[in-house]
Chains A and B, each alone.
Chain A
Amino acid sequence: MPYEELPHTADWSIRVEARDLAGLFVEAALAMNDLAGAQLGSAQRRETVFETAAQDAESLLVAFLSELVYYAENERTAFDRFQARVDRQQGGWTLSARMSGAPLASLGKAIKAVTFHDLKIRPSPQGYSVVIVFDV
């Protein structure tokens, strides 16, 4: 998993890296699944598309991960395959993510929320990196 868990006294903090912005979003989603111990069941897979717009890339990332938190809790579904596209447009940013997943067989840990605390997507030698703090 291309993410690193960082010290945090109460919650979860991770650093994620990827070659491009869309990849960063996908890696963050997969890291969140891994942290929460999401095990997908063998029932029929489902696909959905999530599209949203925001004023900046960080807000877009929070909206995307929050959507996955909602799916996990309310629909008992997790996604493990993504095709994402992140675009900067006049006046903001857009995300279009095709997501494929399945009902959860088990979930080890509940994530309450994805926070904006210290959230900044930065260029890195690998492309982009971001530190995300989850309230658990």
Chain B
Amino acid sequence: MIRIQDLTHISDTEWEIPQSFRPDMRVPVRIFATRELLEQVMQDKSLEQAVNSATLPGLVGRALVMPDMHQGYGFPIGGVAATVFPQGVVSPGGIGYDINCGVRLLASGVELDAARPHLDELATRLDQACPSGVGTEGVVRLTVPELERLLREGSRWALRNGYGAERDLLRTEEGGCLEGADPGKVSERAKGRGCQQIGSVGAGNHFVEVDVVETIFDPGAARAMDLREGCLALQIHCGSRGLGHQVCTDYVQSFQAAVQRYGIQLPDRELVCAPMDSPEGAAYLGAMRAAANFAFANRQVLAHSARGAFEQTFAGIVKDWRLTQVYDIAHNMGKLETHTIDGERLKVCVHRKGATRAFGPGAPGLPPEYEAIGQPVLVPGSMGTASWVLVGTEESMARTFGSTCHGAGRTMSRARAKHEVRGDALRQELEGRGIRVRAGSMAGLAEEAPQAYKDVDRVVETVCRAGIVGKVARLRPVAVVKG
């Protein structure tokens, strides 16, 4: 049990658990939270899990947790940790089962006033075009050889097959394709799951959402991102579906023996890991990158489907109905990046589990229009609440391995949410607030009720005050499609 007096108070948004807190810690844990958010997370096991994550071999700098943190398994959600390449470890449980779960944001010139009479129709078309729900199949069926091409190429595969434009890839993390993906390290079972699921949203907290750009805080950055106040935007939140879940399941199971082979002692078996320069570690990295590419391609195909829904709804009614990609960013990923840590440039594997990359101005890999402003950071709120568009900063590069929060973060268990909230009543309430809802399951809707989450505005305020991101725009939902 970790108490508030065990923490060192750094500032009004930062706290630290010193390395001396537990003998097996290899680095301290830095927590980004106000006192209020910190007290909230002390109700669950987030901080204990953060301390556990600080025991991985090869860690450098600090283990980090963002203000949207909550209890997960292995790492806490909101956790970030960097291990030195190549001798440090990679931990599948530090990345999660939904490899490259992430968010894509597209902007439009459709003004809300013009769109309002057509929002019901748009929501229905999006629901039909973007299959969601438990066990749904996608809009594309692939053979195994074609899937293997997709696993190597990511969004590039989608482009080759007519699902999007070159500009989409420029505005996607890593161009929508992680180098070093190895389909040969993905099990046949995982491939079998993936063949049926490209172009599907899935269930749980995944969604397709239409928003209106409500407030712009940084007009220059918003202009670079094609975001216009009062106009519609579209978010897609999903990941690598069953393929990614199976990849993680396979490697968490096989790494149980690997930790014994390499003499690695861990406080939680979900943190199993292997050195990146070992055969096991290299195999996982190849498979994880393939799953990440699947997720990039999945969101690319979904964006194409959503563009079709916008065209069917608005073409001939409004002048500028086209959706322009703002950015696509992962929040469950392990990436090889170079960062300055204690004055030294090091190549590290940054594990982000429920945390978003937030590269600052001038960081490598950004398209020209974002070089001066930093990488767009997409932070969806809970259903029915605001979402945020932020940008990474020089501070995030210096202090958080270029990382920040990924959402609001849960505070209430799913069981309690279902007990306290009725799905149909929630739907009625959201509709009453002008938010169209298309949901496959009322119980699923109840689990994702806004009251089950933290206030996303406070989470965003915390990372902004800490200096690791800057505000660009606040979005308000007008239609949501959920599984």
- A residues at B contact (CB < 8 Å): 5, 7-12, 37, 55, 58-59, 62-63, 66, 69-70, 72-74, 76, 107-110, 112-119, 133, 135-136
Neighbour of B272 across the interface among A69, A116, A133, CB < 8 A: A116
Given contact pairs A7-B413, A9-B410, A109-B444, A74 touches B193 in the complex (Cβ within 8 A): yes
Contacts of B272 in A (CB 8 A): 116
Neighbour of A135 across the interface among B46, B71, B73, B415, CB < 8 A: B73
Given contact pairs A5-B415, A73-B242, A107-B135, A113 touches B248 in the complex (Cβ within 8 A): yes
Contact across chains for B74 and A117 when beta carbons are under 8 A apart: yes
Q: Give the most central of B46, B74, B413: most A CB within 10 Å.
A: B413
Does B414 touch A at the CB level, under 8 Å?
Answer: yes
Instruction: Report the separation of the CA atoms of residues A108 and B245 in the bound assembly, to the nearest whole angstrom.
Output: 18
Contact across chains for B134 and A108 when beta carbons are under 8 A apart: yes
CB contact list, B242-298 vs A, under 8 A: 242, 245-246, 248-249, 252-253, 256-257, 260, 268-270, 272
- Residue on B nearest A104 in the bound complex, by CB: B135
Given contact pairs A113-B249, A136-B204, A8 touches B71 in the complex (Cβ within 8 A): yes
Contact across chains for A70 and B246 when beta carbons are under 8 A apart: yes
CB contact list, B439-465 vs A, under 8 A: 441, 443-444
CB contact list, B35-49 vs A, under 8 A: 44, 46
Contact across chains for A110 and B202 when beta carbons are under 8 A apart: yes
Min Cβ gap A28→B in Å is 16
Given contact pairs A9-B410, A108-B441, A117 touches B135 in the complex (Cβ within 8 A): no
Contact across chains for A76 and B411 when beta carbons are under 8 A apart: no
Does B70 touch A at the CB level, under 8 Å?
Answer: yes
Q: Which 7 A-B pairs have the closest CB atoms?
A: A117-B73, A116-B269, A117-B270, A113-B97, A115-B73, A9-B71, A110-B134
- B residues at A contact (CB < 8 Å): 44, 46, 70-74, 77, 93, 96-98, 134-135, 189, 192-193, 196, 202-204, 242, 245-246, 248-249, 252-253, 256-257, 260, 268-270, 272, 410-416, 441, 443-444, 483
Instruction: Report the separation of the CA atoms of residues A55 and B242 in the bound assembly, to the nearest whole angstrom.
Output: 26
Neighbour of B268 across the interface among A37, A55, A117, CB < 8 A: A117
Contacts of B483 in A (CB 8 A): 110
Contacts of A9 in B (CB 8 A): 44, 46, 70-71, 410-413
Instruction: Report the separation of the CA atoms of residues A133 and B268 in the bound assembly, to the nearest whole angstrom.
Output: 13
Contact across chains for B242 and A74 when beta carbons are under 8 A apart: yes
Contact across chains for A10 and B77 when beta carbons are under 8 A apart: yes
Contacts of B204 in A (CB 8 A): 110, 112, 136
Given contact pairs A9-B71, A115-B73, A118-B268, A109 touches B242 in the complex (Cβ within 8 A): no
- Residue on A nearest B49 in the bound complex, by CB: A117
Question: Could you pull out 23 A-B pairs where Cβ atoms are within 8 angstroms?
Answer: A9-B410, A10-B413, A11-B414, A59-B256, A73-B135, A76-B135, A108-B441, A109-B134, A109-B203, A109-B441, A109-B444, A110-B134, A110-B483, A112-B98, A112-B245, A115-B93, A116-B73, A116-B269, A116-B270, A116-B272, A117-B270, A118-B268, A135-B96
